[in-house]
Amino acid sequence: MIDLRLIREQPDLVRASQRARGEDESLVDALVAADELRRASGVHFDTLRAEQKVVGKDVARATGDEKAALLAKAKDLATQVREAETASAQASAQAEELLLALSNVVNPAAPVGGEADFVVLRQVGTPRDFTQEGFTPRDHVELGQLLGAIDVERGAKVSGSRFYYLTGVGALLEFALVQMAMEQAVAAGFQPMIPPALVKPAAMQGTGFLGQAAENVYRLEADDLYLVGTAEVPLAAYHMDEILDAASLPLRYAGFSPSFRREAGSHGKDTRGIWRVHWFDKVEMFSYCPPEEAAAEHARLLAWEQEFLGKLELPYRVIDVATGDLGSSATRKFDCEAWIPTQGGYKEVTSTSNCSEFQSRRLSIRMREGDKIRPLATLNGTLCAVTRIIVALLENHQQADGSVRVPQALQHHLGGREVLLPI
RNA sequence: GGAGGAUUCGCAUAGUGGCCGAGUGCGCACGCUUGGAAAGCGUGUAAGGGGCAACCCUUCGCGGGUUCAAAUCCCGCAUCCUCCGCCA
């Protein structure tokens, strides 16, 4: 959630942000009105309650007729207090609901527009020219079959569409990638974490996934729990309701977890293979830092993502995602898109978002600096989304005979294999 | 799943209807003391909302209820601990 004071004092700024996102501007005015009502009804309740306390103490001291008279007054007050309390609670709940519905204010540096209005920040590496090399590249499904690494048919048989098995060297490849990602993260000072993949509503709500993104979240009705779509959720909620010592910041966690996504809005999109699936494993970076350091931390997260892709020798580009395509928590987002030969284009393999104080306000995570207590910033970034990296690796490093070259940095995590051979 | 116990200000605890938003110890901060430190002594030390401020209000796991008045009584739920059962 954003700061109510910002909405009170600079509603135009928030309106402009909503417009840039393509979201409802009138929410801002509704919120301003709801906030006024909340404060007014709060003052009314406070006043009555203070009076009730005074009278209550008088009752305890009084005797005889005086006590009877005071008791009558107190009873009358009690009714009024109850009514005022209900009204105040309702007004607060109303304001809270609107506040939770409002997305974070976008960073002015983010390009304004829809999904296609991103800005390419840089391009790294050069896509291979398979025509010049004299063969037609196979896609990851075909390569996965040749190598005995991916079984999508049986994934569908057992669990339905968008499920898969990683088999043989495919399974080993996941372990190798995860190990490599964790090693890098630890070297950079991250604390490795294996968080729960099922979380309570407060964690999901607090990270901002129950807004427009709600339709993509799996919910376990019987237990009122959610399956996380990213380790970002349990890593953010880890410090829920805590006040962190400013001297301990930044706190950096690298979480390994399964990621579950309903893919509700993407029927018919990327249906082949394991590019877009309902479940995959992922190593996610997560930072807590002072708000004024968030932009620098964001740049660092991006640099770590690039370091990882570099070690995998993948050609990719970095884009500054447009305002209309930001998650509700993010003020700014950078995606790394790897070149996917059989798609003839760059496609998202990592994503890093600066959520400023949006999540920490919702989750009630603050920092103590001397005698000052204030919200802090949270940021997240993908280090390794296993299935997408596997797709990129197989397709980019394939050879004419269907074998796949293993990038040097990954070799020792795969028992020294320099190449994956068809079975 | 069954039985019992617990949940209070960073930690440990006191508190069984009004003098309790709440005492004590530890920790922490500042001051005194000291050549310096420790010890000792003194003062302060939860969060949130409203207000220029004085100050007021909310919160004693969460949600209801009883009462003029609830940390305290009643009901429901959650979490943790112990024992039993089952189990990767």
Residue A384 banded pLDDT, cuts 50, 70, 90 = very high
Tally of CB atoms within 10 A around A250: 17
Domains A4-101 and A115-420 share a fold: no
- Measured CA to CA, the distance from residue A362 to residue A205 in angstroms comes to 8
Task: Report CA(A60)–C1'(B14) in Å, whole number.
Answer: 25
- Asked if A329 contacts A353 with a C-beta cutoff of 8 angstroms, the reply is yes
Residue A77 confidence (pLDDT): 80
Bases of chain B within 7 A of a CB of the protein = 18-19, 47-51, 56-58, 68-69
User: For residue A6, what pLDDT is reported?
Assistant: 87
Domain A115-420 sits in CATH 3.30.930.10: yes
| CB distance A326 to A355 below 8 Å | no
Q: In chain A, what are the domain boundaries?
A: 4-101, 115-420
Residues of A with catalytic function: 261, 276, 348, 351, 388
- The predicted complex's ipTM stands at 0.85
* Strand, helix or coil for residue A133: helix
Q: Which nucleotide is nearest to A200 (CA to C1')?
A: B78
Average pLDDT, chain A: 92
Chain A residues 26-55 within 7 Å (CB) of strand B: 39, 42-43, 45-47, 49-50, 52-53, 55
Residues 6+ apart with CB under 8 A from A163: A152, A155, A156, A277, A278, A279
CATH 1.10.287.40 fits A4-101, yes or no: yes
Is the C-beta of residue A60 closer than 7 Å to nucleic acid chain B? yes
3-state helix vs strand vs coil in chain A, percent to 5: 50, 20, 30
A266 CB neighbours strand B below 7 A: no
- The protein residue nearest nucleotide B68, judged by CA to C1', is A74
- pTM to 2 decimal places: 0.93
The CA distances from residue A283 to A229, A266, A382, in Å, are 12, 24, 7
User: Which residues on neighbouring strands pair with residue A36, listed in sequence order?
Assistant: none
- pLDDT, tens digit, 9 for 90 and up, residues A308-351: 999 999 999 999 999 999 999 999 999 999 999 999 999 999 99
Q: Which residues of A385-406 are buried (b: 16+ CB within 10 A; e: fewer)?
A: bbbbbbbbbbbbbbeeebbbbb
Determine the nucleotide nearest to A92 by Cα–C1' distance: B49
Distance A63 CA to B22 C1' (A): 27
